């Protein structure tokens, strides 16, 4: 207890303020929006299943490993399934990540880098969004940070305790998200490649490292086997298929890093990163022309590497962060081009954690202390600017509002067509009327399928989202043949159409 208390006292007071601010941002209005499609999928996967069934059955029907679902199952059994309650674990994981990223930055560099890393993560809209979502992404980010933090500890002091802690955390990481395999790959690239960064040998003794990776591989083997089975299965359709993922374009790849700043305006986010990075690069270049000794003195980098940085040299720290960010983004892109599309920017949230530390570390390259504070402030401001929009505008399709409108205005015997089978899940979650039929149809539904779905019903309602123009035209032409287009209401991400009986035979 005394050791724990001493560690708390050793933390800078500013960190407590940053963590409190991060908690406020992640808890504010956490239950305001309705569940979005993937959140409903999370709830449906754990509903009606026991904890052992979640661990054994969910991996066969979902493309993600079961750890988060097991946590969600236990949580909802205890506290219920309201929006606020089910999103609370993600918020707690998100706040914990702010603490851990401080540890990563401070361990690799110093407290100032740790505090700036924590400040950036605290206000990052990309991370806040997933800290208010009933999904596994904030847990994925937390465990990625913990795994890298313990990797640095292993580099410094490869004792059985630190190696065991690293192995346990990394196993949990692999059981959280499939892209965790790329995080582990990045760590291996760093460790194996470290022999070229230092004449004294690799950052971690190879026997120690191989033992840790063998443990991780053996414990993670059941999930890896399931993942390989999914990858080798024919067709790619079904609940574990990836046919919905488009091939990544060059612009999407380049804007990934801008999305880490502002996922809704990645171009602006990219410009903000270029502005900060460009200023740091120019200032560093000017500083180097003024003399390396003055540069070291201005940055306060006196002392040997072992006194200030533990076992990691400057090149090794750069290689660690470069592998962390680069491998987790580049390898999925290569697989997407060479094998099948798997690249989704939110899946790379682990890389975002490394980028935030890298950005904070780059501020150290600024020559004067005053300018360092200015550049650090500009960096945090770039992440702060998107937040007013985040908290004042809906972020996802508002299924509760659509369901409430239909539930209030529909008459008994009406029919609701939903333009994608998967979209029926969030609609029906909020829709409680038994006297109104809900029928999901694909966006590509034929005229015959649409007519069959509405036969025998007077008024037809249509809920659409991302329907191609030709599909929407086919829906409207078919429904308007015997009905009038009475009303169109737009919601965030959704459009609700109402077709009342008109000329011709009602019901088609």
Domain spans, the chain: 12-392, 399-501
Which tens digits make up the pLDDT trace of 212-265? 999 999 999 999 888 888 777 644 445 556 677 888 888 888 899 999 999 989
Q: Which residues pair with 485 in a beta bridge?
A: 499
- Residue 338's pLDDT is 92
pLDDT of residue 3: 54
Q: What is the pLDDT of residue 125?
A: 96
Per-residue pLDDT at 294 = 45
Neighbouring residues of 332: CB distance < 8 A, sequence distance ≥ 6: 179, 182, 342, 343, 347, 348
**What's residue 126's pLDDT?**
96
Q: Note the CATH architecture for domain 399-501.
A: 3-Layer(aba) Sandwich (3.40)
Distances (CA, A) of 123 to 13, 131, 214: 18, 12, 37
Radius of gyration of the chain, Cα coordinates, nearest whole angstrom: 26
Question: Tokens 């037809």 correspond to what residue?
Answer: 460
Say if residue 497 is exposed, middle or buried (CB neighbours under 10 Å; 0-12, 13-18, 19+): buried
> Angle at Cα 311 formed by Cα 308 and Cα 313, nearest 5°?
75
Amino acid 142: pLDDT: 98
Task: Tokens 């969600």: give the residue.
Answer: 72
The predicted pLDDT at position 286 comes to: 76
Res 451: pLDDT: 92
Q: Which of 376, 410, 495, 475 has its CA nearest to residue 112?
A: 376
Q: Rounded distance, CA 181 to CA 470, Å?
A: 40
* Predicted local confidence at residue 141, as pLDDT: 98
**Under-50 pLDDT residues of the chain:** 234-237, 292-310, 504-508
Structure tokens at 237: 């359709």
Cα–Cα distance between 373 and 360 in angstroms, integer? 11
User: d(Cα 144, Cα 133) in Å, to the nearest integer?
Assistant: 18
Structure tokens at 321: 């962060």
Instruction: Tell me if 443 sits within 8 A of 244, measured CB to CB.
Output: no
Per-residue pLDDT, 301: 46
For β-strands 494-501 and 437-440, DSSP reports them as unpaired
């Amino acid at each position: 207890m005394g050791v724990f208390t001493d560690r708390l006292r050793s933390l800078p007071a500013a960190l407590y303020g940053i963590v409190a601010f991060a908690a406020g941002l992640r808890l504010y209005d956490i239950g305001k929006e309705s569940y979005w499609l993937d959140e409903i999928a999370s709830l449906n996967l754990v509903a009606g299943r026991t904890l052992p069934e979640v661990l054994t059955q969910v991996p066969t029907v979902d493309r993600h490993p079961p750890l988060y679902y097991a946590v969600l199952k236990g949580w909802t059994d205890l506290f219920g399934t309201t929006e606020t309650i089910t999103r609370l674990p993600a918020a707690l994981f998100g706040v914990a990540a702010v603490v851990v990223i401080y540890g990563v930055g401070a361990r690799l560099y110093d407290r100032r880098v740790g505090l700036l890393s924590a400040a950036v993560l605290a206000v990052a809209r990309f991370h806040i969004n997933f800290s208010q979502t009933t999904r596994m992404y904030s847990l994925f980010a937390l465990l990625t940070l913990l795994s890298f933090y313990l990797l640095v500890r292993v580099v410094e002091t490869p004792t059985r305790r630190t190696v065991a802690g690293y192995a346990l955390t990394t196993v949990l990481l692999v059981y959280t998200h499939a892209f965790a395999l790329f995080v582990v790959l990045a760590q291996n690239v760093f460790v194996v490649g470290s022999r070229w960064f230092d004449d004294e040998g690799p950052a971690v003794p190879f026997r120690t490292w191989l033992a840790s990776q063998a443990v991780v591989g053996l414990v993670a083997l059941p999930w890896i086997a399931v993942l390989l089975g999914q990858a080798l299965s024919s067709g790619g359709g079904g609940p574990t298929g990836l046919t919905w993922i488009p091939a990544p374009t060059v612009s999407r790849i380049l804007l990934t890093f801008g999305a880490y700043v502002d996922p809704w305006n990645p171009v602006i986010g990219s410009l903000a990163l270029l502005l900060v990075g460009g200023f740091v690069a120019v200032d560093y270049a000017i500083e180097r022309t003024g003399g390396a000794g003055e540069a070291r003195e201005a940055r306060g980098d006196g002392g040997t590497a072992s006194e200030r940085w533990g076992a990691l040299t400057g090149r090794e720290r750069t290689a660690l962060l470069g592998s962390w960010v680069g491998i987790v983004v580049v390898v999925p892109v290569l697989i997407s081009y060479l094998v099948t599309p798997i690249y989704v920017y939110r899946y790379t949230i682990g890389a975002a954690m490394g980028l935030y530390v890298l950005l904070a570390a780059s501020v150290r390259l600024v020559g004067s202390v005053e300018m360092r504070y200015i550049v650090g402030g500009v960096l945090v401001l770039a992440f702060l600017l998107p937040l007013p929009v985040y908290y004042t505008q809906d972020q996802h399709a508002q299924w509760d509002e659509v369901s409430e409108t239909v539930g209030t205005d529909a008459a008994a015997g009406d029919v609701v067509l939903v333009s994608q089978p998967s979209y029926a899940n969030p609609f029906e979650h909020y829709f409680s009327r038994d006297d109104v039929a809900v029928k999901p149809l694909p966006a590509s539904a034929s005229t015959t399928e649409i007519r069959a779905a509405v036969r025998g019903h007077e008024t037809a309602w249509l809920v659409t989202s991302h329907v191609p123009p030709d599909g929407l035209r086919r829906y409207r032409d078919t429904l308007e043949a015997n009905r009038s287009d009475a009303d169109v209401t737009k919601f965030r991400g959704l459009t609700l159409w109402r077709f009342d009986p008109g000329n011709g035979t009602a019901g088609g």
